[in-house]
Structure formats: C-alpha cells, structure tokens
Structure 1
Amino acid sequence: MPHVIVKLWPGKSEQQKAELAAAITKEVMKTLGSGEASVSVAMEEISARDWAEKVYKPDIQQKPEQIYKKPGYDLSDL
C-alpha cells in the first residue's frame, strides 16, 4: 500500500517515466508516511485515440468523487 497507476500517452522516455515514478514514490512516502518498500508505481500507456474510451469516461467522468485534481484546472482552482 499504496499502488499508484499513471495513465499517459505513449512517447515519454523510460528515463522520464523512471523519474516520475521516483518523484511519486518520494511524495507518497512524505505525505502518507509510507515506507519505500510499500509503494509501487505503474505506467500504463494509452493512445490518444483510445483516451476518451479507456481513461476519460471510465476513470474521470464516471468517478468524479475519486478525482482530487481535475483535468482543465490548476491546483490553485480547487
């Protein structure tokens, strides 16, 4: 606990994904008090063509109560 899944468009380098996973891990440890060994981070590449059906509709539109940072808004807007 916890497991974080990042869904993103293809095209980011392995280095970028590794850096993002490290940053997420560090922040999860700091914010939730989790040990590094208990944090896992996955990257799931979804094509732009499939984004609406595979991500936006099921994960964002149909689960608004689970969204803590909405697309189209800056964190300062929340």
Structure 2
Amino acid sequence: MPHISVKMYPGRSLEVKEDLAKKIQKLTVEELGCSEGHVSVSFEDIKQEDWQKQVVEQIKSEDLIIEPNF
C-alpha cells in the first residue's frame, strides 16, 4: 500500500521514469506517512492513438480527481 500507476505517451527514457518514480514515492511517504518500502510505482506507455480507449474510457468518473484539459 499504496501502488501508483502512471500512464503516459511513449518517449521518455528509463532514467526519466526512475527519477519521477522516486519523486512520487518520496511525496507519497511524506503525505501519507507510510514506509518507503510500502510504495510501488509503475509506468505504462500508451500510444496517442490508443489513449482514448485504453485510458480515458477506463477511468470511472467518480475516481477522477483532476480532469485533463486538452
């Protein structure tokens, strides 16, 4: 607890993803008061043409906290 899943367009390096994962982990520990070892982060690259079907249509409206504006 907790697991954070990040979906985004392809093109970012493993180094960039690792850096972001560490920052997400650190913030999660600070905000939720949990142990660093209890936080996991994953990334999934989704092609732009698949974004609507694989991401937007899969999110329940009641689960969306911040809506995109694009």
After superposition, give the CA deviation of every residue in 1:3-53 in whole Å (9 maximum; x if it has no partner): 000001110011110111011001100111110000000001111111000
Structure 1 CA distance for aligned equivalents of residues 16 and 48 of structure 2: 19
Shift >4 Å, 4+ stretches: none
Gaps of 5+ in 1: 74-78
Gaps of 5+ in 2: none
Q: 1:69 aligns with which of 55, 66, 70?
A: 66
DSSP-derived class of the 1:43 partner = strand
Residues 1:52 and 2:49 are matched in the alignment: no
Name which structure has the greater RCO, CA cutoff 8 Å, separation 6+: 2
Q: Tell me the percent identity.
A: 39
Query: In the comparison of the two structures, how many residue pairs are matched?
Result: 70
TM-score (ref. length: structure 2) = 0.93
Structure 1 CA distance for aligned equivalents of residues 19 and 66 of structure 2: 21
Structure 1 CA distance for aligned equivalents of residues 22 and 62 of structure 2: 27
